[in-house]
Amino acid sequence: MQPIIECVPNFSEGNDMNIIKQITDQIEGVEGVRLLNVDPGKATNRTVVTFVGSPEAVIEAAFRAIKKSGELIDMSRHSGEHPRMGATDVCPLIPVANITMEETAQYAQQLAKRVGEELQLPVFLYEAAQPHKNRSNLSVIRAGEYEGFFKKIKLPEWKPDFGPAEFDAKRGATVIGARDFLVAYNINLNTTSTRRANAIAFDVREAGRKIKNEKGEEIVQPGTLKSVKAMGWFIEEYGIAQISINLTNIGVTPVHIAFDEVCNKAAARGIRVTGSELVGLIPLKSLLDAGKYFLQKQKRSTGVSEKELIKIAVKSLGLDELGPFKPEEKIIEYMLKNKSDSQLVSKSLSDFADETASESPAPGGGSISAYVGALGASLATMVANLSSHKKGWDDRWEEFSKWAEKGEMYKNELMQLVDADTKAFNQIMVAFGLPKSTTEEKAARTKAIQDATKFAIEIPFKVMQASYNSMEVIKAMTEMGNPNSVTDAGVGALCARSAVIGAFMNVRINSVGYEDKSFISGILDRGREIENKAIVLEAEILKIVNGKIGI
């Protein structure tokens, strides 16, 4: 897989959509780049843009955007609530997949060098791209902001890393670097006081505040949260003060912990948190973790759907207070999602049945087996969730929550395999349609057919494994789950066993055309073993179910 990096430039314009559109047009004009999000802020007079792609394409797109912003934005006329020093104020690169931070930092340095030399713009490196750690912190670099940089840039210790040591009155200067994924997050307060908002920010941010000790010496009192930068400001657009937070390592301090801590510190000062907002994008895991966190506080099962976890997170964090929260526009994985990977499972039940019944050979038995397996796992998960919430079983909610999470995991895996099986079939059809006029074409076609056939064997085998594994949850729910739902678990067992047998039929028929007989022998042996175990386990589960029915 090719390396992917993300770029999140911040442009000092948040009101003129014509200017913003001209800048983002430069980004979208580069092949291999995908624009994910454009987030303008009127009060900050700043727009955060997010795009991803291959490193070379991202570098080209970033260069064009920096050039265009310098042409369109006049910093001598700029004002806004957010600290800034240039038309392109900051341009971080973030490793997303198959690339290291060190490699990303090298690309940031390449971009900075090109911007400095070709655009004659002062450029400062920061974070991982900056070799001198005494000037790697963005807030230290930007101290003094635009107005103070006319003098600051003349100081030897603040000579730009690239470009002239002359401050450009129109374009300002820019900061380019490489960093980990950063979540820009604002928490809303029921006050208009910037001073009190700042006091709360100082309470929580890692840098804390300066105080005097008993000897009258000035010392730093750290805040309560690690990897957190924060400041307070008043947003005229909303008529409230906010805590503006950068979560620089969400593995250390995730969104939900920052939110709760601000709630606690605000309450101690007689202030209420009313909600929050995300600036730019957030990883899916952050919202899923938040949803689980708030459900656990309620002693509720966390084994619910991804959609439900996101809903709980949004409501608990108040992410929809200032405007609608659209997961498809704010979650990075959803922005990157290929719609072709979920064409079948995104259909309604009736449309899915109609598509299956049509003259098209796909979806066929493999996809249906995966879907039947997903239904079996879903039934087991339902019983676990009902048991977790059953009156009188409050002391067992966590036990059933863990079972529900496991069932949800198998359900999600099998739902993905519904489309994957049809995709595998389509790949075989494409391979058979390749040209075969020359020796080279025949060899390439044969290889493509064999590769596609192996994939078409492996997918239903994964369906077998996931469906059989889900029977552990199904059996547990027949034994210990809510007795009123024992038949639901029983039907889940029927689905899981059917999915295993059906998927194995696809493994076997696709194996006929594969030439690696050693591979075929091994996977058929393992398939027969799973099939036999599933049949035996189904009988055990149905015996328990019938015993509890009693008639």
State percent of the chain over pLDDT 90.
86
DSSP single-letter state for residue 172? B
Query: Average pLDDT in the 384-404 region?
Result: 94
pLDDT tens per residue, range 78-104: 998 888 999 999 999 999 878 899 999
Q: Is 419 a catalytic residue?
A: no
338 pLDDT band, cuts 50/70/90, is confident
- The answer on pLDDT for 489 being more than 80 is yes
Complete domains list, the chain, with CATH: 4-178 (3.30.990.10), 183-336 (3.30.70.670), 343-549 (1.20.120.680)
Query: Average pLDDT in the 436-445 region?
Result: 94
pLDDT tens per residue, range 5-59: 999 999 999 999 999 999 999 999 999 899 988 999 888 899 999 999 899 999 9
Among 89, 168, 421, 488, the active-site one is: 421
Contact 431, 449 (CB under 8 A): yes
152 pLDDT band, cuts 50/70/90, is very high
Contact 371, 414 (CB under 8 A): yes
So what's the pLDDT on residue 2? 79
Alpha-carbon gap, residue 505 to 497, rounded angstroms: 13
Contact 352, 418 (CB under 8 A): no
pLDDT tens per residue, range 247-291: 988 889 999 999 999 999 999 999 999 999 998 888 889 999 999
**DSSP-assigned states of every residue in 12-29:** S-SS-HHHHHHHHHHHHT
Q: Does residue 236 sit in helix, strand or coil?
A: coil
Contact 150, 173 (CB under 8 A): no
- The answer on pLDDT for 471 being more than 70 is yes
Query: Average pLDDT in the 187-215 region?
Result: 95
So what's the pLDDT on residue 336? 74
pLDDT tens per residue, range 169-187: 999 999 999 998 889 999 9
Alpha-carbon gap, residue 51 to 403, rounded angstroms: 38
Contact 175, 112 (CB under 8 A): no
Which pair of structure tokens corresponds to residue 455?
A: 């994939």
So what's the pLDDT on residue 289? 96
Nearest to 323 by CA among 289, 363, 277: 277
So what's the pLDDT on residue 327? 94
Q: What is the mean pLDDT of the chain?
A: 94
In 366-483, beta strands by DSSP E: none
Cα 67 off chain centre by: 30
**Residues in the chain, total:** 551
Query: Average pLDDT in the 295-313 region?
Result: 96
Among 39, 82, 89, 289, the active-site one is: 82
Query: Average pLDDT in the 449-466 region?
Result: 96
Nearest to 319 by CA among 381, 363, 393, 256: 256
Q: Is 451 a catalytic residue?
A: no
- The answer on pLDDT for 1 being more than 80 is no
